[in-house]
Amino acid sequence: MTIAAEPAAPPREQNAEATGDRKATRALDRVVIRFAGDSGDGMQLTGDRFTSETASFGNDLSTLPNFPAEIRAPAGTLPGVSSFQVHFADHDILTPGDAPDVLVAMNPAALKANTGDLPRGAEIIVDTDEFTPRNLAKAGYDGSPLDDDSLAAFTVHPVPLTTLTVGALTGFPLTRKEAERAKNMFALGLLSWMYHRPTDGTERFLRTKFARRPEIAEANIAAFRAGWNFGETTEDFAVSYEVAPAHRAFTPGTYRNISGNLALSYGLIGASRQADLPLFLGSYPITPASDILHELSKHKNFGVRTFQAEDEIAAIGAALGASFGGSLAVTTTSGPGVALKSETIGLAVSLELPLVIVDIQRGGPSTGLPTKTEQADLLQAMYGRNGEAPVPVVAPATPGECFTAALDAARIALTYRTPVFLLSDGYLANGSEPWRVPEPGELPDLRVPFATAPNHDGEFWPYLRDPVTLARPWAVPGTPGLEHRIGGIEKQDGTGNISYDPANHDFMVRTRQAKIDGIAVPDVTVDDPGGAADTLVLGWGSTYGPITAAVRRVRAEGGRIAQAHLRHLNPFPANLGGVLSAYRTVLVPEMNLGQLTQLLRARWLVDARALTQVNGMPFKAEQLATALKEAIDD
């Protein structure tokens, strides 16, 4: 079944109270804000800053950047609209929110592209300066929506953001164009006032970002403060809102805000340290994975080597070469890149060398939707190679979990000498959430021994396996006495010499499969508070947030439903078959056409049903809750 659209529930207003100030303050339990503008308006930066302010304030939060693949689509047009949604709350939340309570629209196109997502009663802040006949026409409006009743369902705050910004910057040595560019900071200042966000961090950030052009830094800060003061003084904004810190949502510790790609990068550096091996990244730029290459290239002082290759094939080839030499080797890409790397992944399976392949999934097939999210590479990761070439698959569930998933992928690669897929996606990569910063001492020990001595009657046999893990010895060049040759041709068991013997090939194919099947992964845990559910919802990867939010809604209305989430898709947790068979109905929400569902049905002959969505966006909790309720009632 597919998921149909349905409006979401508005946030709950808590005891409204006026403070002693001139203006009223209301307390809310959660708010969803969407900043939308032209690709050149700096909406991602604005959203990032608001998020950082919110994180340091102590709210729980979740974000959803949404931008076009074009760097600068024609200004003022619908394809050029870029947006950033942030959901923050005084309790723990799991998604970036189904629908914005507040929309900041920097031009007519941004308004038009986003109005359809707004629930009745939402607030809209528009930059009226941009509502010129020309811009209205570019967005496809016949007349200004600010002048008719088309926005009657919403509270509209018309603000001449551009004029106010330019006015606030009189006296700065800037051209008008440069001054106009600071209007996103004016908007940020206004929203920061509306939601009582701390401002020190943003001012610090601007001073660092524009350290080489202090006049630009000061102008942006002035615009930011002007926006704040505008909220404080203008009649149009009568109320500001408080969203208390989400103290109870967090276990004690030190927290920061982190995106999936950043957490993944840190996880790889952490794995390198914990394995006591130098990190080598071979990569070719591709959206939405390039940020990992950018991040790792900044950390050469951790001994990290980053190699921007001539193509995807060379990127993984170089990584495999570094693995042969004893590095913790990684390649990062997205689905189209995986397609190009397939042959080398097969070689890595045959050579049995450690290699982490990071696939930040995006909409496909082919070039597809480079900046949108999807989970449609699961079967490619599982089966996209010639011959029987099993590869373990690890999938993080949240942006912060990308850190531990990277460590886990490295553990499997190093322990079992195998390529490993780490399947993240565009939503996890760019989305962010508060993350408890781990102490290095908490991280697992990933060290594995290199072979140092002959292992068979004074000879070295590169394919003589560890009886428990079935891993072959990792003998790196430079080790005397262990000189050996490996290759993609079938090898004789033990010696590793070329062998075309039928029985040997049969044995080697089955042994490589058995090695992957035998990888130790934790059991899947089932959350079923009442213990009486006969419907199980099972997810994997980035759907964790929306599924969990939907499950809460179902339970809040008395529905009985059990939930489980997979972090390991190859091998599956050993208890998964038993879990599946314990429920009358198994529902599998996926951002594809049912790929995990196919694997489950094939493996266990269970009547698992897929709930699918492939619109480039994460599931909305309310829609998913409705689908779950319908399935329970079936």
**Site residues, other proteins (CB under 8 A):** 52, 55-56, 58, 201, 247, 250-257, 266, 269-270, 273, 278, 280, 282, 299-303, 305, 307, 309-311, 313-314, 317-327, 329, 343-344, 346-347, 351, 437-440, 477-489, 497-498
Q: In the complex, what is the shortest distance from the CB of residue 271 to other proteins, in angstroms, rounded to a whole number?
A: 11
Minimal CA–CA distance to 92: which of 549, 508, 430, 534?
Answer: 549
At which residue do the structure tokens 């496909």 appear? 364
Euclidean distance between CA atoms 627 and 5, whole angstroms? 10
Q: In the complex, what is the shortest distance from the CB of residue 264 to other proteins, in angstroms, rounded to a whole number?
A: 13
Q: In the complex, what is the shortest distance from the CB of residue 583 to other proteins, in angstroms, rounded to a whole number?
A: 36
Nearer residue to other proteins within complex by CB, 439 or 634 = 439
Q: In the complex, what is the shortest distance from the CB of residue 69 to other proteins, in angstroms, rounded to a whole number?
A: 25
List the strands of the sheet with 81-89, edge to edge: 60-66, 81-89, 30-38, 102-105, 123-127, 155-159
235 Cβ neighbours under 8 A, 6+ residues apart: none
Q: In the complex, what is the shortest distance from the CB of residue 205 to other proteins, in angstroms, rounded to a whole number?
A: 9
Minimal CA–CA distance to 425: which of 279, 302, 591?
Answer: 591
Q: In the complex, what is the shortest distance from the CB of residue 307 to other proteins, in angstroms, rounded to a whole number?
A: 6
Q: Report H helices in 93-241.
A: 108-115, 133-139, 161-168, 176-180, 183-194, 200-209, 214-233
Q: In the complex, what is the shortest distance from the CB of residue 290 to other proteins, in angstroms, rounded to a whole number?
A: 19
Minimal CA–CA distance to 540: which of 508, 509, 502, 568?
Answer: 568
Euclidean distance between CA atoms 113 and 73, whole angstroms? 14
Bridge-based pairing of strands 30-38 and 81-89 is antiparallel
Euclidean distance between CA atoms 379 and 541, whole angstroms? 14
Euclidean distance between CA atoms 634 and 360, whole angstroms? 36
Nearer residue to other proteins within complex by CB, 221 or 319 = 319
**DSSP structure class, residue 323:** H
Bridge-based pairing of strands 355-361 and 30-38 is unpaired
Euclidean distance between CA atoms 434 and 61, whole angstroms? 7
Residue 94 CB neighbour total at 10 angstroms: 20
9 Cβ neighbours under 8 A, 6+ residues apart: 622
Q: In the complex, what is the shortest distance from the CB of residue 436 to other proteins, in angstroms, rounded to a whole number?
A: 8
**DSSP structure class, residue 448:** -
Assess contact for 329 and 288: CB atoms under 8 A: no
Q: In the complex, what is the shortest distance from the CB of residue 405 to other proteins, in angstroms, rounded to a whole number?
A: 15
Nearer residue to other proteins within complex by CB, 148 or 459 = 459
Q: In the complex, what is the shortest distance from the CB of residue 252 to other proteins, in angstroms, rounded to a whole number?
A: 4
Helix axes 183-194, 200-209, angle to 10 degrees: 160
Nearer residue to other proteins within complex by CB, 323 or 371 = 323
Please give the backbone phi and psi of residue 617, each rounded to the nearest 5 degrees, phi first: -120, 155
Beta strands in 284-410 (DSSP E): 305-308, 328-333, 355-361, 393-394
Q: In the complex, what is the shortest distance from the CB of residue 541 to other proteins, in angstroms, rounded to a whole number?
A: 23
DSSP 569-620: EESPPTTHHHHHHT-SEEEEEESSSSHHHHHHHHHH----EEEE--SSSPPP
Nearer residue to other proteins within complex by CB, 211 or 574 = 211
Nearer residue to other proteins within complex by CB, 314 or 611 = 314
Nearer residue to other proteins within complex by CB, 79 or 487 = 487
**Distance between alpha carbon 177 and the CA centroid of its chain, in Å?**
34
Q: In the complex, what is the shortest distance from the CB of residue 346 to other proteins, in angstroms, rounded to a whole number?
A: 8
Nearer residue to other proteins within complex by CB, 163 or 297 = 297
492 Cβ neighbours under 8 A, 6+ residues apart: 463, 498, 499, 501, 504
Q: In the complex, what is the shortest distance from the CB of residue 495 to other proteins, in angstroms, rounded to a whole number?
A: 10
Question: Hey, what are 276's tokens?
Answer: 């006591």
Q: In the complex, what is the shortest distance from the CB of residue 14 to other proteins, in angstroms, rounded to a whole number?
A: 21
Minimal CA–CA distance to 361: which of 351, 349, 371, 374?
Answer: 374
Minimal CA–CA distance to 519: which of 577, 574, 465, 566?
Answer: 574
Q: In the complex, what is the shortest distance from the CB of residue 338 to other proteins, in angstroms, rounded to a whole number?
A: 16
Q: In the complex, what is the shortest distance from the CB of residue 227 to other proteins, in angstroms, rounded to a whole number?
A: 21
Q: Quick one: CA dihedral 417, 596, 63, 545, positive or negative?
A: negative
Residue type, position 479, single letter: T
Euclidean distance between CA atoms 16 and 264, whole angstroms? 41
Euclidean distance between CA atoms 370 and 126, whole angstroms? 29
Nearer residue to other proteins within complex by CB, 324 or 463 = 324
Nearer residue to other proteins within complex by CB, 7 or 321 = 321
